[in-house]
Amino acid sequence: MIVVMRAGAEKAEVDAVCSLIRAEGLEAFVSEGQERVIIGVVGIDIDRVAHVGTMPGVEQAIRVTSPHKLASLEHQRDRTRITVKGIPIGAGAPLVVMAGPCSVESPEMLFETANLVKREGGHVLRGGAYKPRTSPYAFQGLGEDGLKLLAEARAQTGLPIVSEMTDASQMEAFEEYVDIIQIGSRNMHNFTLLRAAGQGRTPVLLKRGFGATIDEWLMAAEYVLSAGNANVILCERGIRTFERATRNTLDLSAVPVLREMTHLPVVVDPSHGTGKRSLVASMSLGAAAVGADGVIIEVHPDPPHAWSDGDQSLSFPEFAALMDELRRSEYLRRGDSGRPRTVSVPATVGDMRERIDTIDSHLLGLVDERAQLALGIARAKGTDDHGHDAAREHSLLERARATQGAVLDGEELEQVMSAVLRASRQMQRRHAAEQRDSVRTPA
Ligand code: PEP
Ligand code: MN
């Protein structure tokens, strides 16, 4: 800390400040300038003299080290990676998708949603059993019965569970039934709850208070960390501003800001962040693009009839389309993209056509990307022919034949691969010919 004295401060005032600092076991280094005195304060527990700025003769006291002792990069340079049931979160691991309903309403809707999340490649199932609602008359959640249903959904799908804890007395049940304890936006300042979550080892998803600065949010994380639980994931879920076009203002800049301040993983919640279904996909892609370690998304089998947050919940086809988009942008784990997947077929022909059009344009783009790489190989090998490698083509065709898709069989997939290879060969011949021509007739 640096204490700046007022111009013309009395020597007695400077001495009083230095005595206070030393009495608290810290060191004070006085430097006398032409106009004013500056005192450097050094020591571990700077907070003991936090009030020095109000002493007579002091103009201001400036903190130079981070007050977030355990959360800060000063404390730990290596980014934290938290592994939940084998799923790595943070420190450069692929984007983690947590998804599920706002509230657990019934076994049927929960299991249906859990199976969809699993099928589409989501990693963690969300669902609220205790709902902190703005109105005491709104649905408050199924409580412990909801937690039991979540645990049953986990048993069916293998997906770990994230759910919100609203009171310290629920800790035992949460340790039994969930894999990540969510602390909600409204409870970010509930220090008793934070300490309780800090007493266990279950990872904590700490949502940003909608009126909290990033500093206050990190101090809340500090409560969990200092109580002994190092497994904290931060979740940006939007803050309240003057803007009314969205339910909250999703502060995506918090992601890179936090990267410069903390080693903890950061997840983004575009559902509460926007409050509007139509904005969730673009803000999820935005979150991934700015480096979020994960997204948490509300999905419901019948959003217009959801008991809470229906306006911001994605339908099943919308969630499937978002997962496709994240996969195409390579934000998801690479291994996920090659695996044959069962997609949820939209209800109307119009929606089906729209998804097919999107897939076709991705498909053509991918084939072109593949062709550029094939050309790169031919150039690296320095071949002047079209450079195709018959043995490798043969093994690619065999691999396609051995693949069983959800609806296409091996023979049909081999035909697709064969068409891709044919087009690629033709392109390489054309480039090789152009190359030879340009050598013969130099410009
Ligand atoms: C929720 O995740 O359903 C929720 C209530 O979120 P928040 O605490 O961010 O409002
Ligand atoms: Mn919600």
Three-state SS string over the chain comes to CEEEECCCCCHHHHHHHHHHHHHCCCEEEEEECCCCEEEEEECCCHHHHHHHHHCCCEEEEECCCCCCCCCECCCCCCCCCEEECCEEECCCCCCEEEEECCECCCHHHHHHHHHHHHHCCCCEEECECCCCCCCCCCCCCCCHHHHHHHHHHHHHHCCCEEEECCCHHHHHHHHHHCCEEEECHHHCCCHHHHHHHHHCCCCEEEECCCCCCHHHHHHHHHHHHHCCCCCEEEEECCECCCCCCCCCECCCCHHHHHHHHECCCEEECHHHHHCCHHHHHHHHHHHHHCCCCEEEEEECCCHHHCCCCHHHCECHHHHHHHHHHHHHCCCCCCHHHHCCCCCCCCCCHHHHHHHHHHHHHHHHHHHHHHHHHHHHHHHHHCCCCCCCCHHHHHHHHHHHHCCCCCCCCHHHHHHHHHHHHHHHHHHHHHHHHHHHHHHHCCC
Ligand 1, CB cutoff 6 Å, lining residues: 102, 128, 184-186, 207, 237, 269, 272
pTM for the full predicted model: 0.75
Pocket residue to mutate for ligand 1, from 139, 164, 296, most atoms within 8 A of Cβ: 164
Confidence (pLDDT) at 195:
98
Phi, psi of 174 (to 5 degrees): -65, -40
Cα-to-centroid distance, 313 and ligand 2 (Å): 8
Question: CB of 340 within 8 A of CB of 406?
Answer: yes
d(Cα 377, Cα 393) in Å, to the nearest integer?
A: 14
Cα-to-centroid distance, 182 and ligand 2 (Å): 12
Cα-to-centroid distance, 212 and ligand 2 (Å): 19
| H/E stretch holding 298 | strand 294-298
Confidence (pLDDT) at 442:
63
Pocket residue to mutate for ligand 1, from 182, 296, 311, most atoms within 8 A of Cβ: 182
Confidence (pLDDT) at 338:
47
Reported in sequence order, the residue ranges of 92-237 that DSSP labels E, i.e. its strands, are 96-100, 124-126, 161-164, 180-183, 204-207, 232-236
Residues 6+ apart with CB under 8 A from 203: 82, 84, 89, 179, 180, 181, 229, 231, 232, 233
Pocket residue to mutate for ligand 1, from 185, 296, 297, most atoms within 8 A of Cβ: 185
What is the bridge-based pairing of β-strands 2-5 and 58-62?
antiparallel
Confidence (pLDDT) at 182:
98
d(Cα 262, Cα 40) in Å, to the nearest integer?
A: 25
Confidence (pLDDT) at 362:
79
Confidence (pLDDT) at 342:
63
Q: Of 329, 232, 350, give the one whose Cα is nearest residue 285.
A: 329
The angle at the Cα of 405, spanning 400 to 411, to the nearest 5 degrees, equals: 45
Confidence (pLDDT) at 343:
67
Cα-to-centroid distance, 295 and ligand 2 (Å): 14
Confidence (pLDDT) at 378:
83
Dihedral sign, CA of 390, 395, 401, 404? Answer: negative
How many Cα atoms within 13 Å fall on the side-chain side of residue 441?
A: 3
d(Cα 423, Cα 418) in Å, to the nearest integer?
A: 9
Question: CB of 183 within 8 A of CB of 232?
Answer: no
**Does residue 297 come out as left (phi exceeding 0), alpha (psi in the -120 to 50 range) or beta?**
beta
Cα-to-centroid distance, 326 and ligand 2 (Å): 22
Residue identified by tokens 């693949």 is: 403
Confidence (pLDDT) at 392:
86
How many Cα atoms within 13 Å fall on the side-chain side of residue 93?
A: 21
Positions in the chain short of pLDDT 70: 333-344, 383-388, 442-443
